Structure 1
Amino acid sequence: MRALKVLPSGRPGRGRLYVNRPDGLAVAWYDRQSNRVSVLSDALREEVLTALRPFLTGTWTVGPPPVPTAAELRGLLLPPDLDLAPNRPGETLLGESAYGAQGGRARHRVRPELQARLRAGAETELLEAAGWRVLHDVPLPGLGLLDHLLIGPPGVLAVRTVAGRRQRAHVGDLSLTVGRAEPRPDPDWIRRAADRAARVLRTPVRAALVVADASRVEVDPSLRDVLVLQPPTAAAALRGGVAALKPPDVEALFTLARARPTWD
């Protein structure tokens, strides 16, 4: 057998590392929270440990996995090119920032957007320790990319990130304005994105805007159906929500949402 490949699921330094055969089928995984290596076939034990050796930390254990749920089985069988879980925050903007933007946008205009998504992504990843699962750059045909999808005990959130550019931001029912720039339809867009995600996942999805690096954020009192958050307090605001989903429900929704064909 050719060398096994280690691929991440979730954010760097968090979540699981999957050990895959060259054909993409997972044969083991390393759960970094429990520090346990689960091997599907004992015959591959040494090969798996060799592949994972650079990533193992502290005192770890190895053995057969617990009986997997149906959601976990679907995740194991998902080909890497159809898996959204490894996406980094601002994945599509990273190349534009380094090599030039599409559509004639200058790199200096892309970088504030990328920085805002990285800030928001760092906030959302703080929730993983509290049982949340996070996806970045989720494709919504006809709408574009959803910056972040959060699935946790309080429910599911569709999140759009806005670069505050160290200016005052005003969020109304239908538009958002940063400084003296033209109003943008971000509140209306994220409503439609949340509705789309709710139909696809067949569960309620709340719309949220994260305004990063603004000097001040003003929200119209009439805006009640869109949650407006700011780093560095966004994670704390979400962590205290009333639990509506049990851990198996969170995992099942995450497994469904991470598969690219789900959104086609």
Structure 2
Amino acid sequence: MAGLRVVPTWRHGQERYYVLLPDGRNIAWYDREAGRVNLLGQGRREAVLRALAPYLSGPVTVGPPPVPTPSELVGLSLHPDDDLAPNRPGEALLVDLDRDPAPPRRLRPDPRRRELTAEQAVGDALDRLEPAGWRILHSLPLPGGARIHHLLIGPGGLFCVHSLYARKQRVRIGDPHITVGRAAPTPLLRHLRHLCDRASLALTAETTPVLALAGPAELDMDTPPRATLVVQDEDLTALATLAGVLKPADVESLYTHARDRHAWLRV
């Protein structure tokens, strides 16, 4: 079949190649990691394989797409406005900066820029956990204007992750207060644990608070804070070794529930 076009994409750690008709309709896609070509119509099998030939790596399985799981069907049924899965790290800050940019001649840097840098650094580190069976959501809005920076769901459980910009600064922790550099101490750990409690209520599952320092930073901590993990952004990948709490089906079920905006409206 003439005129087939192959479009490579990369999303959530998955490399795919979509085969499109001249009018833009999708008729197949190749999942390189799974080694599978998914056909939407058997009549185009040979033409699709010829178009994909330059991109195939090793033997592949060819056939119709696998039947979606119940969790996948729920995700597919979400209205785009209610689906939080596409949110980028720092999504709320990106929208805010776009609507209300800082004056061009501001004497001091816009603090939102530092917050955005922290959320993007931590978010990128968390996204690298996906191949190990973890699911990540970013910038989850809560009633009252609060926001969960990152929600991590995987074999090791649920983690509510808060990003803190601390590049080349000393961070002193005296639970519940956090002091960054010369700034005044703030009860950030109390706020983080409150957000974590709201996440546990929304998902009816135990959630662990994590303070992620975007740095690296110098950390001054006499004793670990109560029921809270404190890590550098570069050490977040160590969470991939945690396991034994959630099964894959539980991970997908919680992720499907958490990505629905309505799940957070009453917490």
**Residues 185-240 of structure 1: per-residue CA shift (max 9 Å, x gap):** 2211110111111111111100111011143012341513111110211112x112
1:152 aligns with 154
Which residue is equivalent to 1:216? 218
Give the secondary-structure state (helix, strand or coil) at the position aligned to 2:128.
Answer: helix
Cα-to-partner distance string for 1:87-112 (whole Å, 9 max, x where unaligned): 1111122244566458xx97532221
Determine helix, strand or coil for the equivalent of 2:129: helix
> Post-superposition shift, 1:37?
5.3
TM-score, reference length from structure 2: 0.77
Report what 1:191 is aligned to: 193
Identity between Structure 1 and Structure 2 (%): 42
Contact 1:172–1:187, Cα closer than 8 Å, also in 2:
no
Give the match for residue 133 of structure 2: 131
Aligned to 1:90: 90
Structure 2, unaligned runs of 5 or more: 1-6, 19-26
**3-state SS of the aligned residue for 1:89?**
coil
Structure 1 length normalisation: TM-score? 0.77
1:38, CA displacement in angstroms? 4.5
The match for 2:81 is 81
The CA distance in 1 between the partners of 2:36 and 2:113, in whole Å, is 38
* 2:32/2:57 contact within 8 Å kept: no
Deviation track 1:140-165 (CA, whole Å, cap 9, x = no partner) reads 21361110000000100001100003
C-alpha change, 1:233 and 1:45, in structure 2 (3 Å) is farther
> What is the CA-CA distance between 1:65 and the residue it aligns to?
3.1
Q: 5+ residue gaps in structure 1? A: 1-5, 20-26
Matches within 5 A, 1:20-59: 33-36=33-36, 38=38, 42=41, 58=57
d(CA) in 1 for partners of 2:44, 2:186: 54
What's the offset of the Cα at 1:119? 0.8
The alpha-carbon deviation at position 131 of structure 1 amounts to 0.2
Matched residues in 2 for 1:199 and 1:45: separation?
49
2:207 matched to which residue of 1? 205
